[in-house]
Structure 1
């Protein structure tokens, strides 16, 4: 399936989300993310979750408006609403999954959502988390990085060790470097041009593009 799936979930949301929506993408609203979309006149293709963070009136509106609604018991479920939506998206074997609203006040949920990016990478699916100030990916092979509107790029190991890191087009280059958990060597780099490349030999690397 050569398509993009966008998941809007219940973290920190705002009108910035609308800039990242595409008419060509399949749109999934996870829990209160579905209500957020409907409030702005946007109908998700699928609404999914336990819907325990929204009112009965909002749930009724979601069931009436959305073509497909997948609900579960909030007590007996084993996954977060975001993971449910992500797992559902992966079964469709898209080219890319974009998570919006996947960061917020709950750091445990934010970190779990970063781990979902690793799950996508394991399955050969591009995936990223976007919020108002950050774009986050997990890579395990050579990747091109586009600067866009982001000022800084940070690299953090997700596996215990990432080896063979070589950066091209960055202000602070690395050549066949190794990053281990706990090191800050990869924090706050800058692209010299509009694009650069990150190469690595083994491990998984979190790529965080940020702006203040």
Structure 2
């Protein structure tokens, strides 16, 4: 039986910088989505796959992407139902990896940023651990019945928000502000700006969907 692919790293066209390469690991299968592919190539990183409608790059830049990628998949910007990031995530899920990292999912376009956070549910429903990360954020999604262990890191703040009407049975251990069997409803800010009390902590969720956001700055 072939060995399972450990991780797919998607680099899409939001906020990117010199820190991006530090989030990638040797052995990652790398997908560049639209302008994210151009960023990778100009950073000396060869994508295994570049895809998108490439409406945010010029014709000569698209040629640069094609020459610098192991594979190219181009989509019509009108005749497609998904954003470039969703296309990349769906292709990543088809590879059946152990986990997925999405970089460049957040940026100045709040509509795209929010849609990309919502994409975490698509991956969670397929049972693939998926993380959005950039210079100042790490975002993951829990589903009911799960526990998530956190370690003290470069992200000192931990915030929780439901992805849905209600997330219930939330228990926090090892946090400055603990909770036990708490409920968070959409429209509340109770879960914002917590912090680990020591080196480790645990978030447990009994029912619903819960965003766990570690942030700095």
Q: Is TM (by shorter chain) over 0.5?
A: yes
Q: Tell me the TM-score normalised to structure 1 length.
A: 0.98
Q: Does 1:181 align with 2:186?
A: yes
| Corresponding residue to 2:8 among 5, 9, 31 | 5
Cα distance per residue 1:42-86 (max 9 Å; x no partner) = 100000101110111111111122111111101111110000000
| Superposed CA offset, 1:20-53 (max 9, x none) | 0111111000001000011111100000101110
When the two chains are superposed, the root-mean-square deviation of aligned CA atoms in Å is 0.9
Aligned-partner SS, 2:130: strand
Distance apart, 1:2 and its partner CA: 4.2
Query: What is the aligned counterpart of 1:190 among 176, 192, 195?
Result: 195
Q: Please give the residue correspondences for 1:112-191 in structure 2 after superposition, counting only pairs within 5 Å.
A: 112-140=115-143, 141-191=146-196
User: Helix, strand or coil for the counterpart of 1:75?
Assistant: coil
With the length of structure 2 as denominator, give the TM-score of the two structures. Answer: 0.95
Matched, 1:43 2:46: yes
Deviation of 1:142 (Å)? 1.1
Count of residues in Structure 1 that have an aligned counterpart in Structure 2: 212
CA apart distance, 1:4: 0.6
Q: CA deviation at 1:147?
A: 2.2
Structure 1 residue runs of 5 or longer lacking an equivalent are none
> Which of 62, 71, 90 lines up with 2:74 in the alignment?
71
- Matches of 2:176 and 2:127 in 1, distance apart? 30
Q: Aligned equivalents of 2:128 and 2:198: distance in 1?
A: 27
In structure 2, stretches of 5+ residues that fail to align are: none
Structure 1: 4+ residue segments shifted above 3 A: none
Q: Give the Cα–Cα distance (whole angstroms) in 1 for the partners of residues 208 and 5 of structure 2.
A: 27
Q: Deviations over 1:119-158 (max 9, x none)?
A: 1111111011111111001111111112211111000011
Q: SS in structure 2 opposite 1:137?
A: strand
Q: Distance in 1 between matches of 2:87 and 2:75?
A: 10
Q: Secondary structure at the match of 1:15?
A: coil
